[in-house]
Chains A and B, each alone.
Chain A
Amino acid sequence: MTAPLSKAWFEDYEVAMALPSVELGPMDRYDYIPIALILRDTNPLHLDRVYAQERGLHDVVQQGPLNQAYLYRYFTSLLHDPWDLVATKMRFAANVFPDDILTCGGEVLAVAPTEAGGGIVTCAVWQRNQKGETILKGEAKARVPSRG
């Protein structure tokens, strides 16, 4: 994802409205090295292809927090201010591997106006791979300003 998504106003959101989906990738195994350093997690499952294959996987596994980060980036790129993010709830459903193509998307679950103007938008969010398998699914909630 390179171009920023359009940033909707509170009045633009309706329940059951689909959020724009975004494709990203292919995932790059060399990205797992800095992520391992940041997480202080040198588990060979993320870095050593032979080790992963010995455990029945076809390749190394992308770190879960990196999958999450891509879904956070997707959702917060829809917001006028990324830190309008209020809450998230996410569940890991499957692994990501090098060269996977990920798609992030979502749907509006609830809209709640606030007295100060604008409101809170709650969305289902998901991340899937090129086979349509769900990698992450959950909810994200954010403050969205009024068009004014």
Chain B
Amino acid sequence: MTVDRTALIGRPLRAANNTVSEVDVNDFLGVVAEPDFGPADGSESAAAVASGRLAPPSFAPFVAVLGLLKTFDWQDDFLFDYRTGTAMFGEQSIAFHRPLLLGESVAISAVISDVYEKQGKQTFDVVEVTFDIKRREAGDLLMSGQQSYILFK
């Protein structure tokens, strides 16, 4: 049965929170050695935020991907059976409004902004999600953008 996902356009996804975890960033820096960013000392998050230590911009896609995955359910929101279907990331665009601080808690809001079918070797739907990532308490905007997901039919 062919699924028509165009009715999903405009659907707000669930609000989600995430933390720019020092542990994650340290593990990340162990793989992606960044010349301008050394590992943090492992102090607790509140102290890290207060100290203003920055995560590298190269970690930003991880914050977006992780945060967005918390905003939707493949089946409920994308009408997609993840157990039997094949999905992959499509295009991602991000505007950066200010640096990410180690340890800060962020809030992600997202909406399905577009759905369209494309034909390559296979037919697939592109589900485009538009998102904002803000600091959880203060509400200042950190990142905004779009992430598309490719759902093969």
A-side residues, CB < 8 A to B, are 2, 4, 31, 34-35, 37-40, 64-66, 68-70, 72-73, 76-77, 82-83, 85-92, 138
Collect the chain A residues with CB atoms within 8 Å of residue B98's CB.
83
Collect the chain A residues with CB atoms within 8 Å of residue B65's CB.
39, 65
Contact B93 A65 (CB under 8 A): no
Collect the chain B residues with CB atoms within 8 Å of residue A88's CB.
92-94
Collect the chain B residues with CB atoms within 8 Å of residue A73's CB.
32, 34, 56, 58
In whole angstroms, how far apart are the Cα atoms of A66 and B65 in the complex?
A: 11
With A31-B31, A34-B28, A83-B96 as given contacts, are A92 and B57 in contact (CB-CB < 8 Å)? no
In whole angstroms, how far apart are the Cα atoms of A88 and B57 in the complex?
A: 11
In whole angstroms, how far apart are the Cα atoms of A69 and B29 in the complex?
A: 10
- B140 adjacent to chain A (CB < 8 Å): no
Contact B57 A72 (CB under 8 A): yes
Chain A nearest CB, measured from B78 CB (Å): 17
- B40 adjacent to chain A (CB < 8 Å): no
In whole angstroms, how far apart are the Cα atoms of A58 and B70 in the complex?
A: 31
Contact B59 A69 (CB under 8 A): yes
With A39-B66, A66-B31, A77-B35 as given contacts, are A90 and B92 in contact (CB-CB < 8 Å)? yes
Chain B nearest CB, measured from A33 CB (Å): 9
Collect the chain A residues with CB atoms within 8 Å of residue B34's CB.
73, 82
* Set B35, B66, B88, B93: member contacting A92, Cβ < 8 A: B88
Contact A69 B96 (CB under 8 A): no
Residue of A nearest to B64 (CB): A65
Residue of B nearest to A38 (CB): B24
Chain A nearest CB, measured from B1 CB (Å): 25
- B30 adjacent to chain A (CB < 8 Å): yes
Contact B93 A72 (CB under 8 A): no
In whole angstroms, how far apart are the Cα atoms of A118 and B59 in the complex?
A: 26
- B95 adjacent to chain A (CB < 8 Å): yes
